[in-house]
A and B are shown apart, each in its own frame.
Chain A
Amino acid sequence: MTPTSSARRRRTMLKAGAGASVAALLLAACADTDSGDGGGGGGQAAERGSYEIDCSKYDEFGDLDGTTVHVYTTIVEPEGTAHQASYEPFTECTGVQIEYEASREQEAQLPVRVRAGNPPDIAIVNQPGLLETLVRQDDAVLPAPAQVEAEVDENFSAEWKEYGTVDGTFYAAPYDANVKSFVWYSPSAFSDAGYEVPETWDELISLSEQIASAGDVKPWCVGVESGAATGWPGTDWIEDVVLRTAGPDVYDQWYQHEIPFNDPQIVEAWDTAGEILKNEDFVNAGLGGVDSIATTAWDGAGYGILDNTCWMHRAANFYQAQWPEGTEVAEDGDVWAFYLPAETTDERPTLVAGPFIAAFTDRPEVQAFQTYLASADWANAKAVATPEGGWVSANQGLDPENLATDFDRLVYETLTDEATVARYDASDLMPSQVGSGTFFTGIVNWLTGQSTQQVLDQIENTWPTS
């Protein structure tokens, strides 16, 4: 989409929204609600466009007008604004005010509040592991009400429901979805050089060799530095390769520790990943040698694609938001992404992740809001409220037309494709000592010289025994 057409579209939206906000003002005057909130909300809706939902769904929860639901998330501004806007159709239907609190420290603060007896009504929990802790150790999360479960059964695949289930009880509906199995590249550079998008792992390796031998530019750029969480982009790499070389079943056994972390099949997967990540001929394009991977920030690592100093960068769909302003993300634009190929074209193992909606109280307005968030209505409202794109849900009721960008539609297709075998990010499912501890540091050690066996033995030794 060209910049002018998007500007034009926004202007027509503004017109449509202006009408809506006049109506909203009239309503507000009649209903005598808090004028400050109403005004602000109207302004936002005008820019984003709004989505009509069926209000009758929430009648069974009784009269909720004037109540408040407190939501605690990690999604801060600027992304948070779109989330707040997506709650407005619910507020218009029921009169429930949503108090949105976002903090980057939420993962640490949430257990503190829960243990102090001061939990939020609803928390958007980023990791199934944290959900499990809150359920098992603190006994704080309430099982999802029947209405929520019905929505999830209707809208989500069984795999996604399973991630929100702990010990056989369904607790939390999925919120957003991310797909991690993408390789970013420059379509124009590929076509100029006559390279084809690879469809199998072997093609990927031979393409890498072809690029490496063709010129002085190495094929891959990689960066795993991310402050205190340094290493996580590397864990995604490994997980993706485990899914491809060992298969989804072994993957499940691996994160559940039914096979040890240093099982030969896992060693093989690391070594396969090492064919790219530890190969001086393939990495680290424009950034240095293999050990520069550990010190390169993940969010800027792919910029070499724009400067023609790098050909390929494996990163999740949310890397879309990291491209500098003005970068055209399109199939024939500056950057685009292809699916990280599997061994054959028939297999489509895909690494996914996403937060979940956990409830700590069971007041009717909280349950009504939970139901709304699990519904197709919310997914569509959220898509419409996010004109800048970069947001996708695994909700099958989401109409792809409502998504803002072509790339989001590609991600959504990948998520809902029949052939796709989705697996949740293993590092988020493992115990945190490993999943966000030694697995991260192991990646760094591995990239800075330790052997695969050595690193995997170390990680296995830190797996909690109980």
Chain B
Amino acid sequence: MSRDVTEPAVVPAGVTSTPAPTARRGLGGRAAKARRRLSNPWASGIAICLAVLWSIPTLGLLVTSFRPELDIRRSGWWTVFGDAAAGEGVFTFRNYETALFGSSTSLADYFINSVVITLPSVLIPISVALLAAYAFAWIDFPGRDWLFIVVFALQIIPIQVTMIPLLTTYVNVGINGSFWPVWLSHSIFALPLAIFLLHNFMKDIPPSLVEAARVDGAGHVKIFFRVVMPLLVPAIAAFGIFQFLWVWNDLLVSLVFAGGTPNVAPLTVRVAEMAGSRGGDWHILSAGAFISMIVPLIVFLSLQRYFVRGLLAGSVKG
């Protein structure tokens, strides 16, 4: 899989750099310089410091999630290291037990709801955005640039502004209370960025490739599936991960459009409730947060190389 992906991605870069050997030397020189600069011990030191600082709150939450309720309220999470060194038993799985089994609705139901919400909310915008991006990149129609600017500009609309009008529309159409409002809303909110990213990536494909295919008699459909799609896999994967994380972690959209009833509410809605009616139960909340984190962690860690490569390919471009 990975070889299929990397090889075509290298082709455009090779094509552009071969005509000028000097440029390649220049590139090599720059790369070496960049490598020297990036491997500077100071830079590495600062990066490590930032990473540690950035992870401390998460580490604190992780430690907290294993502490008994009373200890959490009485002392800070950092005190456990001293206590543990002194040989006191300070950790417990009770918070996880309560978070998993303590409610009348099993957490598994919310997990399933989250999956049911997330998959279409990722697939719908990607499919639509791919078609739109292809049209913007390779089909010349009147008003194309203006339309593209409009789509691009839609990104600046804050989603909060759209909520009441959208919800009114869903109620009038009569699909409220199902999964449709959530799927559609996530798709709507994702499309401007998706189209923009995929369009930029498509523009990177050398025109000669598309023209060659056209000379060989391929139509738009064939070019799209045979030439463009294989080259786009890193970008699609990158945007897919991006959208997946956004939808999985979203609370606002699902609260407004799905509501809190157990038959449509995702995991985030349940985790937010774990704090209790008066917000005092955050020993359970901390455990719930880590349970809900498992899936995005797996997805991100297993696909992260696409994430970085695809995002750079789509956005950093002259």
From residue A54, how far is it (CB to closest CB) to chain B in Å? 28
Task: Please state if B73 and A76 are interface contacts (CB–CB under 8 Å).
Answer: no
Flag whether A410 is at the interface (Cβ < 8 A).
no
Which residues of A32-74 are within 8 A (CB) of B?
Answer: 40, 44, 74
Q: Mark A291-306, 1 if CB is under 8 A from B, else 0.
A: 0000001011001000
Task: Please state if B164 and A79 are interface contacts (CB–CB under 8 Å).
Answer: no
Interfacial chain A residues near B256, Cβ < 8 Å: 109, 112
Q: Mark B63-87, 1 if CB is under 8 A from A, else 0.
A: 0000001100110000000000000
- Complex Cα distance, B69 from A322, in Å, reads 11
Task: Please state if B280 and A103 are interface contacts (CB–CB under 8 Å).
Answer: no
Flag whether A267 is at the interface (Cβ < 8 A).
no
Flag whether B279 is at the interface (Cβ < 8 A).
yes
Question: Among B102, B163, B255, B275, which residue has its beta carbon within 8 angstroms of that of A78?
Answer: B102
From residue B266, how far is it (CB to closest CB) to chain A in Å? 13
Interfacial chain B residues near A74, Cβ < 8 Å: 277
Closest to A322 in B: B280
Interfacial chain A residues near B275, Cβ < 8 Å: 104
Comparing A12-20, A115-123, A271-279, A369-377, the segment that makes contact with chain B is A115-123
Interfacial chain B residues near A226, Cβ < 8 Å: 279
A81-B104, A324-B70 given as contacts; is B272 within 8 A of A104 (CB)?
A: yes
Task: Please state if B260 and A116 are interface contacts (CB–CB under 8 Å).
Answer: no
Interfacial chain A residues near B168, Cβ < 8 Å: 115-118
- Complex Cα distance, B172 from A79, in Å, reads 34
Task: Please state if B163 and A112 are interface contacts (CB–CB under 8 Å).
Answer: yes
Task: Please state if A117 and B260 are interface contacts (CB–CB under 8 Å).
Answer: no
Flag whether A227 is at the interface (Cβ < 8 A).
yes
Closest to A226 in B: B279
Total count of chain B residues near the partner, CB < 8 A: 29
Interfacial chain A residues near B194, Cβ < 8 Å: none
Task: Please state if A99 and B261 are interface contacts (CB–CB under 8 Å).
Answer: yes
Which residues of A430-446 are within 8 A (CB) of B?
Answer: none
Task: Please state if B69 and A324 are interface contacts (CB–CB under 8 Å).
Answer: yes
Task: Please state if B261 and A115 are interface contacts (CB–CB under 8 Å).
Answer: no
Q: Mark B142-181, 1 if CB is under 8 A from A, else 0.
A: 0000000000000000000001100110111000100000
From residue B244, how far is it (CB to closest CB) to chain A in Å? 24
- Complex Cα distance, B276 from A418, in Å, reads 34
Interfacial chain B residues near A324, Cβ < 8 Å: 69-70, 73
Flag whether B278 is at the interface (Cβ < 8 A).
yes
From residue B271, how far is it (CB to closest CB) to chain A in Å? 11
- Complex Cα distance, B269 from A101, in Å, reads 12
From residue A326, how far is it (CB to closest CB) to chain B in Å? 9
Closest to B72 in A: A300
- Complex Cα distance, B260 from A103, in Å, reads 6
From residue B5, how far is it (CB to closest CB) to chain A in Å? 41
- Complex Cα distance, B260 from A99, in Å, reads 11
Which residues of A70-96 are within 8 A (CB) of B?
Answer: 74-81
Question: Among A76, A117, A300, which residue has its beta carbon within 8 angstroms of that of B273?
Answer: A76
Flag whether A102 is at the interface (Cβ < 8 A).
yes
Task: Please state if B167 and A118 are interface contacts (CB–CB under 8 Å).
Answer: yes
A112-B164, A118-B171 given as contacts; is B74 within 8 A of A300 (CB)?
A: yes
Total count of chain A residues near the partner, CB < 8 A: 34
Closest to A318 in B: B278
Interfacial chain B residues near A318, Cβ < 8 Å: 278
Interfacial chain B residues near A109, Cβ < 8 Å: 255-256, 259
Flag whether A257 is at the interface (Cβ < 8 A).
no
Q: Mark B44-75, 1 if CB is under 8 A from A, else 0.
A: 00000000000000000000000001100110
- Complex Cα distance, B102 from A80, in Å, reads 13
Question: Among A81, A105, A115, A297, which residue has its beta carbon within 8 angstroms of that of B164?
Answer: A115
Closest to A324 in B: B70
Flag whether B103 is at the interface (Cβ < 8 A).
yes
Task: Please state if B278 and A299 are interface contacts (CB–CB under 8 Å).
Answer: yes
From residue B161, how far is it (CB to closest CB) to chain A in Å? 12
- Complex Cα distance, B280 from A78, in Å, reads 12
Which residues of A156-212 are within 8 A (CB) of B?
Answer: none
Flag whether A11 is at the interface (Cβ < 8 A).
no
From residue B112, how far is it (CB to closest CB) to chain A in Å? 16
From residue B90, how far is it (CB to closest CB) to chain A in Å? 16
Flag whether A113 is at the interface (Cβ < 8 A).
yes
Task: Please state if B103 and A77 are interface contacts (CB–CB under 8 Å).
Answer: yes
- Complex Cα distance, B103 from A79, in Å, reads 10
Interfacial chain B residues near A103, Cβ < 8 Å: 255, 259-260, 269, 272-273
Interfacial chain B residues near A44, Cβ < 8 Å: 104
- Complex Cα distance, B227 from A310, in Å, reads 74
- Complex Cα distance, B74 from A244, in Å, reads 33
- Complex Cα distance, B280 from A77, in Å, reads 12
Task: Please state if B279 and A104 are interface contacts (CB–CB under 8 Å).
Answer: yes
From residue B21, how far is it (CB to closest CB) to chain A in Å? 62
Closest to A103 in B: B260
- Complex Cα distance, B272 from A103, in Å, reads 8
Ordered by A's residue number, 22 sampled pairs between the chains whose C-beta atoms are within 8 Å are A75-B277, A79-B276, A101-B261, A102-B273, A103-B255, A103-B259, A103-B272, A104-B272, A112-B163, A112-B167, A115-B164, A116-B164, A116-B170, A117-B171, A118-B167, A118-B171, A297-B73, A299-B73, A299-B279, A299-B280, A300-B74, A322-B280
A residues bordering B, Cβ < 8 Å? 40, 44, 74-81, 99, 101-105, 109, 112-113, 115-118, 226-227, 297, 299-300, 303, 318, 321-322, 324-325
5 closest A-B pairs by beta carbon, nearest first, are A116-B167, A299-B280, A300-B73, A103-B260, A76-B273
Known interface pairs A113-B167, A116-B167, A300-B74; 13 further A-B residue pairs with C-beta atoms within 8 A, sorted by A's residue number: A44-B104, A78-B102, A79-B276, A99-B261, A101-B259, A101-B260, A104-B275, A112-B167, A116-B163, A117-B168, A226-B279, A299-B278, A299-B280
